[in-house]
Amino acid sequence: MKRLQLSLTTISVVLLFSCGGNTEKSQDQSNAVENPIAAPATLSYTVINSYPHDTAAFTQGLEVYQNSFLESTGLFGRSSLRRVDILSGKISKNQKMDSLIFA
């Protein structure tokens, strides 16, 4: 117990002294702040196609494989792993997960 008390005392002293300090800033310090990070580039995009998809699916993971989507959907009690035809949106394989699994 004494070690714990000593450790807490030591931490308290370190925090006390590290939080204090000179709160005054010189004129040079306050104006010397520069932003070395460049602004991100603006990207553009064009939608080239859209495909049907189950709007009730809470997609967690998605991969394209042999003209299909391999998709994991989430929500406890509604999670599944499925293979979906890209063009039709039809689910060709569906593995429902245990209700305790959030896929």
Q: Which residues of 38-64 are buried (b: 16+ CB within 10 A; e: fewer)?
A: eeeeeeeeeeeeeeeeeeebeeeeeee
Residue type, 72: S
Query: How far is Cα 60 from Cα 51, in angstroms, rounded to an integer?
Result: 18
Q: What per-residue confidence (pLDDT) applies to 5?
A: 44
Report the number of distinct structural domains present in the chain: 1
Would 84 be classed as within a structural domain? yes
52 band by pLDDT with thresholds 50, 70 and 90: very high
Q: What pLDDT is attached to residue 26?
A: 52
pTM: 0.53
Q: Report which DSSP code applies to 49.
A: -
Quick: pLDDT tens for 28-38.
Answer: 555 566 778 98
User: What average pLDDT does range 79-93 have in this prediction?
Assistant: 95
Strands 80-85, 91-96: parallel, antiparallel or unpaired by DSSP? antiparallel
**Domain around 80:** 60-96
Lowest pLDDT segment from 6-15, 61-70, 77-86: 6-15
Residue 75 lies in a domain: yes
